[in-house]
Amino acid sequence: MRRVSLFTVLLLCLAILIVDVTAFYWLQSITTLINSNFLETAINILFWVFTVGLITAIVVLKITLDDINPKRRQLLIASLYGLTVSSFIPKLIFVIIISMLFFTSTMVPEKISLFIVPTIGLLSGFLPFFVIVYGIFKAKYNFKIYYLKIRFDHLPTQFDGLKIIQISDLHIGGFNYNYKILEKAIRLINNLKPDLILCTGDLVNNYAWELRGWDHVLNKLVAKKGKYAVLGNHDYGDYSEWNSTLEKAENLNIIKQFYKKIDFKLLLNQSEIIETNHNKIALIGVENWGSPPFKQYGDLLMALKKTEDVPFKILLSHDPTHWSEEVIDKTNIALTFSGHTHGMQMGFHYKKMSWSPIKYKYKHWAGLYKHNNQYLYVNRGLGWLGFPGRIGMRPEISHIELVKQA
């Protein structure tokens, strides 16, 4: 996991404290409307018990982080992350909204403002809280199938109607060995009767031990023409501390061997030719290639070897920035599958409108993109990382059908 300095943690705690002090100040304008002194006092005490407890937990976790078992560490960090977000964001919105209402309340009669300001203020805090709680406890495993047809004039006839299922970013440690949850996604996939299943990286958060027992679940995936995968940035163990380079290499090797257990062919800067009745397509897979600080293990030129005579090529590359840098206008790869962004696990999608804060970091962050006759599809991820939830960005199963343009 990436290390966060104690100074950064203390700045976070200071921000939480400032927001909470301000929120408490405005809360008094609401609690004074309560006739019961006992209830008013209880609300105030609970407010500060939670604030002090949260800040204390964050500092203690940071100080003791190195001594915590990695298996417990991941769960603790995710839980505290969710608790912090579900507390901080609603209070911040509450402070902003009620401050705006207070300074504009002089425009309305006093009797009305005494009712409107507290009511809207409370709603502005509670609604985001419930949305975040829903995202943590319900939406993060509310799998969604995205259906899409992509047309190509040079698609070989025998592959017209080819059904591809893409999954990505399982981050399987986040499932905490709750096998039944992922079995639900697997049933959805198998019911689609795919020809190919493609997994575009980040199988784990950091460690190979996260995979324990999951082979009995993931080997239930069925595809008529095969199952293929590439590695993502988290699969290499670059965000963890290791006693030796040998230990890190062994962790990666176990992950690679796991793919064999579940009957996925791992493409490590390699290609696979799929042939049907003398018609061919090339399936190409590169190791992770991302813009710094993400490392560039991928070697597209090596992966493209032996595919020169195959006109229709599909690429698996975990990070979508690779498409812009090395694929479009430089190769004849027709379709690229990526993941990595998770759609930031937050945003919205309505018809043709999509938005997420991640768009300010990644130009291609979710869904289908086109440049001339080349396409990129970015999967929103099946699992989660960091914030243990999803808000308006449901975990995705991509169903892509290739169609020959008449």
Q: What CATH number is associated with residue 329?
A: 3.60.21.10
The pLDDT, as a whole number, for residue 103 is 72
> pLDDT tens digits, residue range 161-187?
999 999 999 999 999 999 999 999 999
Domain that holds residue 60: 6-137
Chosen domain end from 108, 137, 166: 137
Record the tokens describing residue 158, joined without a space. 């025998």
Residue with tokens 């419930």: 130
Do 95 and 57 reside in the same domain of the chain?
Answer: yes
Predicted model pTM: 0.89
CB 139 within 8 A of CB 389: yes
Within a domain: 397: yes
The pLDDT, as a whole number, for residue 163 is 98
> pLDDT tens digits, residue range 290-336?
988 899 999 999 999 999 999 999 999 999 999 999 999 999 999 99
The pLDDT, as a whole number, for residue 1 is 47
The pLDDT, as a whole number, for residue 25 is 86
CB 378 within 8 A of CB 356: no
Do 187 and 111 reside in the same domain of the chain?
Answer: no
Within a domain: 165: yes
Do 95 and 46 reside in the same domain of the chain?
Answer: yes
CA within 13 Å, CB half, 120: 14
CB 367 within 8 A of CB 378: yes
Which residues, including other chains, have CB under 8 Å from residue 225's CB and lie 6 or more apart? 195, 196, 274
Do 126 and 156 reside in the same domain of the chain?
Answer: no
Do 132 and 163 reside in the same domain of the chain?
Answer: no
Structural domain tally of the chain?
A: 2
Do 80 and 175 reside in the same domain of the chain?
Answer: no
The pLDDT, as a whole number, for residue 107 is 53
Do 167 and 58 reside in the same domain of the chain?
Answer: no
CB 232 within 8 A of CB 318: yes
Chosen domain end from 93, 116, 137: 137
The per-residue pLDDT of the chain, averaged, comes to 91
Within a domain: 1: no
In angstroms, the CA 325 to CA 371 distance is 13
What does the DSSP 8-state code read for residue 337? Answer: E
Averaged over successive runs of 10 residues, the pLDDT of the chain (406 residues) comes to 75 92 84 80 89 90 76 78 88 85 61 60 78 92 97 96 98 95 98 98 96 97 98 95 95 98 98 95 98 93 95 98 97 98 92 90 96 97 95 97 93
Helices (H), 234-348: 245-261, 300-304, 321-322
Which residues, including other chains, have CB under 8 Å from residue 285's CB and lie 6 or more apart? 228, 229, 230, 266, 267, 268, 269, 270, 271, 272, 303, 315, 316, 317
Q: Residue 366 class from Cβ within 10 Å (0-12 exposed, 13-18 middle, 19+ buried)? A: buried
